[in-house]
Structure formats: structure tokens, C-alpha cells
Amino acid sequence: MATYFEMGGYAWFVWPAYAFSAAIMVGLVVTSLTALRRDRKILDALEAANPRRAMRREAAAAATANSEEATSDA
Amino acid sequence: MRVSGAFLPWLAAITAALLAWGLYDGLLVAPPDYQQGETVRIMYVHVPSAYLSMMIFGTMAFASAVALIWRHPVADIAAKASAPIGAGMTAAALATGMLWGQPMWGTFWVWDARLTSMLLLFFIYLGYMALWAAIDDPERAGKAAAILALVGSVNLPIIHFSVEWWNTLHQGPSVLVSGGSTIEGPFLRPMFIMIGAYTVFYFTVLIWRMHQEIIARRIRSLRLLQAQG
Amino acid sequence: MTGFMDLVRRDIRLAMRQGSGIYWTLMFFLLTITLFPLGVGPEQAILGRIATGVVWVAALLAAMLSLDRLFQADYEDGSLELLALAPVPMEIIVLAKCTAHWITTGLPLAIAAPFMGMMLNMDPAGFLILTGTMLLGTPVLSLIGGIGAALTVGVRRGGVLLSLLVLPLYVPTLIFGVIAVDEGVNGLGAQPHIMLLSAMLLGAIALAPWASAAALRLNME
């Protein structure tokens, strides 16, 4: 087992390479998901704080095409 | 969004499964290389990230062209959401490349054509993200970033060509023996599994980020509405 | 065509009137060149070997120095919108402004380059090629820089962002410019590199104004 982790003497190169790759990937996942959760909460709060129907109708009329189209197309 | 929402858990599960399989195959099953020894295992994380760093930029350039020509907002969002993933992959490719270079070439960094153009690609990613961040209005920022991505995609081959040219004229015989054609089956399989895993990983994170961006834009337009009273 | 020349003349006059234009560019050029021997050490052999690269890098930075002003002033005082209303297409306007930028930066830099080379113990055989490649290369810098300037025109303090956007795109020009001089001095012939530089210049003239004009248009919406 210990010899395996030594990686033929290259442990200090192999494992950091894997660790760095893992760190990048975990970092991407964590930042993406926290941002998604945070924004979802903000949106829910915004929609809850406002009279929903009126808000929606207005939003549909005035919101930039991007958010509307994006939601229906994606 | 409903469709992609239903896909997501599956995509995440496939990513995890492929990663687990690739890591098992690469770290435990595959033998050490007779020349490079155990360091060959760095390849299984180095090559997929290098591949993704270029594939993602290609996707961004394509999405930018779609955004500019057909003004399709999802293309815009896809390009924006891709950039941090691409930058991360480029950083991973550079870091793992350096860690591979030290035992193989005896130095962390050589001004090799591939490393150098990878570094420049990293700068282009950073510039792209900085441009998005610098312009407040998402519509304007999107168009500006799309122009930059297209200019970058025209320039990248020229940059790569010039760096290769420069390299052959400046570099002594110290540089790498390209692994390309000599890789054999037992090394190839984990590499392709990892490439697949990384690709699915990209799409998973991409959908998360696009989802978030769409929500952020809706928040923005709701707030604008509120401000207008 | 008269519109083009008028615009070039106007921009040059403006750059001159501010007094700063050419003077500061050359001053910066000289200052950066001075720093290299101080950093690397005064050994003539080493300086002679790196001279071409140092001169090119310094010129590249000096040419970038005035880039953020390329469209900024006209954007702020509204004359860019007036120009956009003119019958001249935006691409021509961009080309004119880049030409003026080159005449006030690249051209003086190219002329000054051999003198900087002398200070760095550069092989005199390379002086002519150095100026020649710079005459071909610096317009590319102005044109590509124009894209960056147009993209960041509405951005507050866009200078640093501009350099991040533009510097990676400058790499091919730098590489071919330096190699042409080195190979010329070594007697291997600068011709292929000069051809490549010329091709890049033509490509930049054909493509860069489109990108810059598109960027300017969207920033004026």
C-alpha cells in the first residue's frame, strides 16, 4: 500500500497533479451550485414579496427578451 | 429549462460514475510506463483538461457566432457560463503539465510551443471573463464578449502557429518526445474514459451555470421593474 | 476618401495639440529600454543578444500606452456619435483613427528603434530590418489594439482590461518581428518572416476594422 502511494518515487508530482485537478473541479461545482442556490433564493423572495400576477404580467411585457426566451427555450 | 432540469441528476451521476471508473482504471489497473514510470498517470488528468480547455473555447466561439448572428440569448448565456470552466481547465492543464514536466524534462516550465500557447489561451479566457464583468448591461456585455471570443478564435490558430515557429527556431533539442503516437492500449483506455468523464462534467456544470445566469437575469429585470415603480 | 484623410488629419492634430502624444510614447519607449540593462546587467554580449527582443517588447508596450485614448475622448464628448451619423461607414472611421494612431505612435517608434538598438549593443546589420519590420508590425498593433479600445470604450478605467485583452493577441506580431531581425542578422534571410508580417498586416487591415466597428456600434446604442 505504502509503496503504491510512493508512485515509484514520483509521489510529489503525481498526487499534486490529481489534487490540483480535483480542487479545480470541486471548486467549479461548489461555486456554481452556491451561486445557483443563492440566486434562486433571491428570486423566490422577490417573487414572493410582490403581488405575483401583476408582477408576472409586467415582467412578461417589459422584461428584456433574453430572460423570457431563455427560460422557454432552454 | 424543465428538460435540462430533468437531465441534470443523470448527467451528474454519469459524471461521477465515469470519473470513478477512469480513476480506478488509471490509478490502479493501468501499468506504469516503462520509460516514464508512474508519472504517466498524470496524463489521465492532464490530457482531458487540455482537451477541454480547447473544446470549450471552440464551443464559446460557436455560441458567440450564434449569439451575434441570430441574436439567440441562450447562446450568449452558454458562452458566458462556459468561460470559467474553460479557464479552470486551462489552469489545470498548465499545472498538471508543469508537474509532469519537472520529473520528465527536469524543469517545471519549458517555453515549449504547447505550454506557451496554453498560457496565452488562459489569458484570453481571463480577458473574456473580465470583459463580461466590466460591462453592467448583460446585453451589451454579451455582444462585446462575443466579438472578443470571435476575434480570439481567429487569432488562436495564428498564435499557435507563431509560437510553434518561434519554438522551432529558438529551442534546443531539449524538448519532449511527443507521446502522441506511442501511447498503447492500457494507457489509452483510462485516458479516453477520463476524457469522457471531463466532457460530461463540463456539460453538467455548464447547465448549472446557465441556469444560474438565467435566474440572475430574471432577478435583474424584476429589480429594474421595481425601480421603475 | 477625403473624409478618411480629414479624419486622419484631425486625429493627428489632436494628438499633437495635446502635446503629449508622440513625446510621451517615445519617452516611455526610452525609459523601458533603459531599465533592461539595469536589470540584466551591463555585459555587452548579453545585451546584444537580447536587444531585438527588448526593443520590440518596449515598442509594443509604448504603442499600447495611448490605446485607451483611441476612442475614449471622442466617445465622451459625443463626437463619436456624430461620426457614426456621417455618411462614411464606421469601418472606415475606425481605419482612419487607427491610421492616425499609428502615425503618432508606431511610426516614431519604428524610426527611434535603431537608436535604442545602439544603446543595447545591437548588431548594426539589423537596424534596417528592425525599422522595416516595425513599419510592418506596428500598424498591426494599432489595428488589433483598436479592437480592444473599441470593446472597452464605455468601461470606466478600462486601461488594465484593455492590456489584458490585447497583449495575447500581440504575440504573433512580436514573434515574427523579432525573428525576422535575428534571422536577418544571422544571414539566414529575413524574407519569409517579413512576408508573414505583411500577410498579418493585410489580414488585420481587412478584418480588424469590422470587429472594432461592431464593438463601437454596440457601445453607442
The share of chain B scoring above pLDDT 70, in percent, equals 87
Percentage of the residues of chain C whose pLDDT score is greater than 90: 44
Decide if pLDDT at A66 tops 50: no
Contact C165 B161 (CB under 8 A): no
Reported confidence tier of residue B161, pLDDT bands at 50, 70, 90:
confident
Question: Residue A36 and residue C71: Cα distance in Å, rounded?
Answer: 38
Q: Rounded to whole angstroms, how far apart are CA atoms A56 and B1?
A: 18
**pLDDT in the model for residue B177:** 46
Query: What pLDDT, on a 0 to 100 scale, did the predictor assign at position B34?
Result: 63
Over residues B163-188, the mean pLDDT reads 58
Percent of residues, chain B, with pLDDT higher than 90: 40
Q: Phi/psi at B177 (nearest 5 deg)?
A: -85, 120
Confidence of residue A65 (pLDDT cuts 50, 70, 90): very low
pLDDT at residue C30 in the model:
94
In angstroms, the CA B116 to CA B110 distance is: 8
The whole-chain average pLDDT of chain C stands at 88
The pLDDT-based confidence of C78 (bands split at 50, 70, 90) is confident
Distance from CA of A58 to the nearest CA of B (A): 8
Q: Which of C2-11, C37-46, C133-142 has the highest mean pLDDT?
A: C133-142
Tens digits of residue pLDDT in C147-174:
999 999 888 778 889 999 999 999 999 9
Return d(Cα C101, Cα C87) in angstroms, integer: 22
DSSP state letter for B27:
I
Interface confidence (ipTM) of the complex? 0.88
> Which pLDDT score, from 0 to 100, does residue C81 have?
84
pLDDT for A24-60, tens place per residue?
999 999 999 999 999 999 998 888 887 554 455 555 5
Domain ranges of chain A: 36-62
For chain B, say whether C175 makes contact (Cβ under 8 Å). yes
Res. B211: pLDDT tops 80: yes
Name the nearest CA neighbour of C100 among C12, C23, C26, C206: C12
Query: Which residue, chain included where needed, has cell 460557436?
Result: B62
Residue A59: what pLDDT?
55
Torsion of CA C207, C211, C217, C221, to 10 degrees: 160
How much is the pLDDT for B28? 76
CA distance C180 to C53: 11
What rounded mean pLDDT belongs to chain B? 84
Q: Assign B3 a pLDDT band (cuts: 50, 70, 90).
A: low
Q: Is B37 helix (H, G, I), strand (E, B) or coil?
A: strand
The residue-averaged pLDDT of B33-59 equals 84
In this predicted structure, the answer to whether residue B157 has a pLDDT above a threshold of 50 is yes
Q: Name the grid cell of C188.
A: 539566414
Instruction: Assess contact for C109 and C62: CB atoms under 8 A.
Output: yes
Q: How confident is the model at residue C210 (pLDDT cuts 50, 70, 90)?
A: very high
Q: Which residues does C131 contact at the CB level (< 8 Å), separation at least 6?
A: C110, C111, C113, C114
B134/C contact by beta carbon, under 8 A? yes
Instruction: Kindly report, residue by residue over B164-173, the tens digit of the pLDDT.
Output: 777 766 544 3
Closest Cβ–Cβ partner in C164, C215, C221 for B147: C215
Q: Report CB contact under 8 Å: A17, B95.
A: yes
Predicted confidence at residue B83, as pLDDT, reads: 95
- Chosen for mutation from B23, B41, B191, B222 (greatest number of chain A CBs closer than 10 Å) is B222
Say what the pLDDT of residue C11 is: 82
Query: Cα(A37)–Cα(A31) distance, rounded to whole angstroms?
Result: 10
* DSSP 8-state secondary structure symbol assigned to residue B178: P
- Domain ranges for chain B: 2-173+185-228
Say whether pLDDT at B31 is over 50: yes
pLDDT for the residue C148: 93
CA distance C85 to C82: 5
| In the predicted structure, residue B115 carries a pLDDT above the cut 70 | yes
B102 and chain A: CB distance < 8 Å anywhere? yes
Q: Does A45 touch chain B (CB under 8 A)?
A: no
- Of C106 and B183, more confident: C106
**Rounded to 5 degrees, what are φ and ψ at C141?**
-60, -45
Top-confidence residue, B39 or B74? B74
Answer yes or no: is pLDDT of B38 > 80.
Answer: no
Would you say B60 and B79 are in contact if contact means Cβ atoms under 8 Å apart? yes
